[in-house]
Amino acid sequence: MSRYRGPKLRICRRLGDLPGLTRKKSKKQAPAGEHGQQIRKPSEYALRLEEKQKLRFNYGLNERQLLKNVKIAKRVQGSTGLLLLQILEMRLDNTVFRLGMAPTIPAARQLVNHKHITVNNKIVSICSYQCKPGDIIEVKNKTKSQLLVEKYANFPSLANIPSHLEFNKKQLNGKVNGIIEREWVALQLNELLVVEYYSRK
């Protein structure tokens, strides 16, 4: 299953606010679809599926990528749900977005794919690259790249930069100071339901 390229507001109406997917807000309050107006109690499976879909669409992953990350989180000692969120938050495309260099995660992914971003003075074009504490994330020393990121940085999507990151707006570079803490994750979801969803498969 390839990356979602359909209408984004439709997904936001169904799943709630997804800051990584789009900055737009829908005027319609009801969920999308023919049966959006009907209010009925969702099943336990539907609740778990919805939380999993929030993760998938917000971070722009396909099913295989998300399953792979869940398996990595399960292998490490600690809370699987929290570890999964930390793995997703420390991806390069998400880190570029959280620094304010791009308005959404898809825009950040495009910056990375088009080689506008360097990590520790090396061009990295892999969106799933895991940022580590101490990494310096900069815009490539090209006028086109810098103008693009300057335009994005003037209108950041999120109000605050997380505590584990720092960003120098003049030099257009950021630094990863540590691993993200749970309260700084911008997405509102219950990660334990995602772990339950995959444990039953």
Query: Is residue 21 over pLDDT 80?
Result: no
Strands 136-139 and 117-119, bridge-based pairing: antiparallel
> Domain range holding 162?
91-178
* Residue 159 one-letter amino acid: A
Model pLDDT, residue 92? 92
d(CA 94, CA 99): 9
| Number of domains the chain is built from | 2
132 with 82, same domain? no
101 with 174, same domain? yes
31 with 56, same domain? yes
Q: pLDDT band at residue 130, thresholds of 50, 70 and 90? A: very high
Smallest Cα–Cα separation from 95: which of 129, 134, 142, 140? 129
Model pLDDT, residue 37? 57
Position with higher pLDDT, 7 vs 51: 51
Give the SS3 label for residue 20: coil
77 with 100, same domain? no
95 with 166, same domain? yes
**Over the stretch 22-52, which tens digit does the pLDDT of each residue have?**
766 667 666 666 655 556 787 888 889 888 9
CATH of the domain at 106: 3.10.290.10
**Over the stretch 80-121, which tens digit does the pLDDT of each residue have?**
889 999 999 899 999 988 888 888 888 889 899 998 999 998
Q: What is the DSSP letter of 12?
A: H
108 with 121, same domain? yes
Query: Is residue 2 over pLDDT 60?
Result: no
CATH of the domain at 44: 1.10.1050.10
Paired tokens of 114: 């088009």
Paired tokens of 87: 């793995």
- Residue 183 within any structural domain of the chain: no
Model pLDDT, residue 158? 67
Give the SS3 label for residue 138: strand
